[in-house]
Amino acid sequence: MPNTIEKTLLMDQEKLPVKQIKQDFKMVTFSLGGKDYGIDIMKVKEIAKFSQFTYVPNTPPFVRGVYNLRGEIISIIDLRIFFHLPVEKRKDGVENGLILRLEDYIIGVIVDSIDKVVGIASEDIQPPHPIFGDINVKYISGVVEYKGTLYLILDVEKLFGKEEQTVQKAHTLEALEGSLREKPGLGSTVKESVLVGQTEKDFIRETLKTFKSFHVTPVNEKWLEERYEQWRAERGKQGRDLQIKSVEEADEFLRTFYSPYTDMVWPEDFANSFLELIQEFSGKVFSVWNPGCGKGYETYSMAALFLSKFPDAILKVWAMDNDLLAISTAPNLVLPPENIPSYLLPYTIKGKQGIGITSQLKDRIFFEYHDILHVNVVPECDLILARDLVSFLSPADQGKILEEFYDKLKPSGILILGNHEEPIETGKWVRISNKSFSAYRKNIE
């Protein structure tokens, strides 16, 4: 490695303009979040590629783990996370980095990409300007221009130096916390680890909101707590950090959230649990509101099931979704020919495209392209089927919609939420869930 560095050095020296020939400062340059930085070469032990870290639990998010450098265990810090810069996910899992030799110890840092080694005259280094955006100015020892590019020189001793370390860490944590509510007094040693866990959880909340508009509130908090522990274990095993950095990772995190059989016909045993919920029904008209019905699989399953138990009832279903593409396919849904459950069979018909739904069932359902946050024109309902919908609304809207569910439900009506959801005002509802559905009745007292 030293050879290549010297080689680049020499090449660059040849091309140097006369003015800069007197060079007494050499730095390794690299990029972070699309900007160029340099670190004093005297602090750089070597340039490295890191591939397998060992994740260490209960560390701040910027600590990616520890790494075995030829028998010596060093910590690896991700500078991008440290400075809140966007992290590009690498497919091969190999990260570019530098091994830094500080006064007291050796540490590894991850950067976007290593550029080259350049030699400059120390007199050309200018003090940093206080308005530099991404990185706190006190970690920058200077700015220098080299061949038309401005490099910010990082002061690694200040960043990771021993005396400063505790202060820095506290400072970074403070920044990471952001909107975090204040925790009531805990023992100081416990406090830090709780704080770190809390910060990571807060990050996950934020990223779920950003990538999937999934809002963590009392509606789904219980699930999040469990999922967070699972996620920690999963990611730890894979040697990855906890942060969610893309829509795919957010999907991965939410994988266990979704209720079963959302985008498919309900199988028999699942269907039977649904019928358990609707034990009695004495009226004549049974009205159902099914917001967030998607392509209509659950709407048809529910409607056919209801009619199989109460064939003489008049069923009316208002099924709506704000996904135009999904809802457009609902009225003419085509089912895969295999595994059609027996309760749905009487309502299927063989068409040109495949197995369709008969108009006998279809005529009882209104599929509407509708945004639930707009005015909902539905009558008083016997059943509201809204699985995995509320969590994807903003906290204020969640309250509003749950309130509306309460108002629109008949006194004997049933509300079905997603399997990992519950109403916010639990006092207003009585839980009547079974193994397959999270269901509630109004608490009329």
Amino acid at 33: G
> Taking the complex as a whole, how short is the minimal distance between the CB of residue 266 and other proteins, in angstroms?
22
Pick 190 or 377: Cβ nearer other proteins: 377
Determine the Cα–Cα distance for residues 223 and 231; give it in Å rounded to an integer.
Answer: 12
Which among 40-48, 66-74, 275-283, 362-370 is the span making contact with other proteins, rule CB under 8 A?
A: 362-370
Q: How do strand 106-111 and strand 72-78 relate by DSSP bridges?
A: parallel
Q: Within 44-83, which residues bind other proteins (CB under 8 A)?
A: none
Nearest to 250, CA basis, from 221, 209, 222, 218: 209
| Residues contacting other proteins: total by CB under 8 A | 17
- For 363, phi then psi, to 5°, come to -65, -15
Answer yes or no: are the C-beta atoms of 38 and 28 closer than 8 Å.
Answer: yes
Query: Would you count residue 397 as binding other proteins (CB under 8 A)?
Result: no
Pick 11 or 373: Cβ nearer other proteins: 373
> Taking the complex as a whole, how short is the minimal distance between the CB of residue 417 and other proteins, in angstroms?
24
Amino acid at 424: I
Amino acid at 421: E
The single residue among 163, 263, 269, 371 that binds other proteins, judged by CB under 8 A, is 371
Query: Would you count residue 267 as binding other proteins (CB under 8 A)?
Result: no
Pick 176 or 327: Cβ nearer other proteins: 327
Determine the Cα–Cα distance for residues 129 and 337; give it in Å rounded to an integer.
Answer: 69
Query: Would you count residue 433 as binding other proteins (CB under 8 A)?
Result: no
Determine the Cα–Cα distance for residues 72 and 398; give it in Å rounded to an integer.
Answer: 52
Amino acid at 370: H
Amino acid at 284: K
Pick 227 or 364: Cβ nearer other proteins: 364
Query: Would you count residue 295 as binding other proteins (CB under 8 A)?
Result: no
Query: Would you count residue 129 as binding other proteins (CB under 8 A)?
Result: no
> Taking the complex as a whole, how short is the minimal distance between the CB of residue 318 and other proteins, in angstroms?
9
Query: Would you count residue 396 as binding other proteins (CB under 8 A)?
Result: no
Pick 70 or 374: Cβ nearer other proteins: 374
H or E stretch at 271: helix 268-277
Write the binding mask 319 to 358 for other proteins: x where contact by CB under 8 A, - elsewhere.
Answer: ---x-x--xx-xx---------------------------
Query: Would you count residue 407 as binding other proteins (CB under 8 A)?
Result: no
Query: Would you count residue 100 as binding other proteins (CB under 8 A)?
Result: no
Pick 14 or 407: Cβ nearer other proteins: 407
The single residue among 375, 407, 435, 445 that binds other proteins, judged by CB under 8 A, is 375
Buried residues in 316-331 as b, exposed as e (16+ CB within 10 A): bbbbbbeeeebbeebe
Query: Would you count residue 203 as binding other proteins (CB under 8 A)?
Result: no
Pick 299 or 391: Cβ nearer other proteins: 299
Nearest to 291, CA basis, from 211, 179, 366: 366
Query: Would you count residue 368 as binding other proteins (CB under 8 A)?
Result: yes
Determine the Cα–Cα distance for residues 294 and 412; give it in Å rounded to an integer.
Answer: 26
Taking the CA of residue 231 as centre, how many other CA atoms within 13 Å lie in the half-sphere pointing to its CB?
Answer: 23
Q: Which two tokens stand for residue 4?
A: 């290549």
> Taking the complex as a whole, how short is the minimal distance between the CB of residue 56 and other proteins, in angstroms?
47
H or E stretch at 338: none
Q: Which two tokens stand for residue 190?
A: 């416990």
Determine the Cα–Cα distance for residues 421 and 415; give it in Å rounded to an integer.
Answer: 11
> Taking the complex as a whole, how short is the minimal distance between the CB of residue 5 and other proteins, in angstroms?
53
The single residue among 189, 377, 435, 445 that binds other proteins, judged by CB under 8 A, is 377
SS3 404: helix
Q: How do strand 149-154 and strand 35-40 relate by DSSP bridges?
A: parallel
Query: Would you count residue 404 as binding other proteins (CB under 8 A)?
Result: no
Residues in touch with other proteins (CB under 8 A): 322, 324, 327-328, 330-331, 366-371, 373-375, 377, 379
